[in-house]
Structure 1
Amino acid sequence: MKLFRIAAALVVAFATAGSVSAASSDDYLTIQLKDGPVVIELMPDVAPKHVAQIKELAKKGEYDNVAFHRVIDGFMAQTGDVQYGDMNDGYDPKLAGTGGSSLPDLPAEFSNVPFERGTIGMARAQDPNSANSQFFIMFAEGGFLNGQYTVVGKVVAGMEYVDKIKRGQGGNGEVSDPDRMIKVTVGRN
């Protein structure tokens, strides 16, 4: 009888674990780059408001064709300016990186999650509560950002494609003829 209870408990535990992972499948973002797909595991438990806004923008197709307007070798690649960064509609290299989206800016959701290679952080102005749509992907560890910027996720597949994003030539990492996010979808596509 005791063995039966243990077996039944294991079956329930495995069934519950399976349903949890199925329910959280929308906590992934897939970014199609020129060289291949990048899968990001989002962290709604760490930054729920930021993750919800990113997913909303992705579901609307707002991130499609948006430039990596600021890319600094050994540091990060920044994208997500849906206002001025859409390379098929209204792209302005002089303004790319200064815009956001039609959604409101978000209050900071700082955490203890460290900035490491593959970490996704929200870009913002000097005001910590000014993040909107822009985000960056870390090429390397960036401990000086810890507790200063909101972490929203991490790359779990395709970091080799992130490494191939065209680097900026300008003093602040500005990129002429930048690479773009071809298509961004919610889920592991």
Structure 2
Amino acid sequence: MDDIDEAPDLPSKNALETASWRREVHALYAAVRAEQDPATAHALWVDTRSRLFLEHPASPRRQGQSLRHAPYDPAFRFVVPIEPAEQEPWEFRSATDGVVPFRGAGRVTLSGLGTLDVWWLDSYGGGLFLPVRDGSAGQETYGAGRYLLDTVKGTDLGREGDRWVVDLNFAYNPSCVYDYRWVCPLAPAANRIEARAAVGELLPEGYDS
């Protein structure tokens, strides 16, 4: 869903449906950024994502699946600078698009949780990418991690001056959680934290590992 996932081969009708999906996602995040109250923005995000997941023809949903979200917890919202950091580039290998390269864009420090590396998608389109795997992975949340930001697909929570909004209440699952035909990059070692953050999108109803 609305992330850096690589989709299965799409006939033209499905390609148009996917384009429609992405427009909806861009519009949703624009509305989220415009809302002054984070909890209200989160409620809008949950309601819209849940509706799209159940109703949109491009949804990766399989029969019996529906989204689950934790209640909003302001303790997991951070507004932080992206600080310079030494980062080795990494590559995601996709059966459809081959090697997808990432290079370091910096690092964010989340008080009480740890640090996460921010990556630049170093191919067509570009964009910042921030995945996370926290201590709830494999229990309440997807075992391989979730996504916080993916600006090439519009999932951007905004900035305050030169600081970025990093809110784990908006962490969402990659499409491969719902449909095995999708392939998604997982959180690299630098984006795995031991602290538990069971907020945001949880394992869905009807999840079958």
Could you state the TM-score of these two structures normalised by the residue count of structure 2? 0.22
Larger Rg: 1
RCO comparison, higher one (Cα < 8 Å, 6+): 1
Could you state the TM-score of these two structures normalised by the residue count of structure 1? 0.23
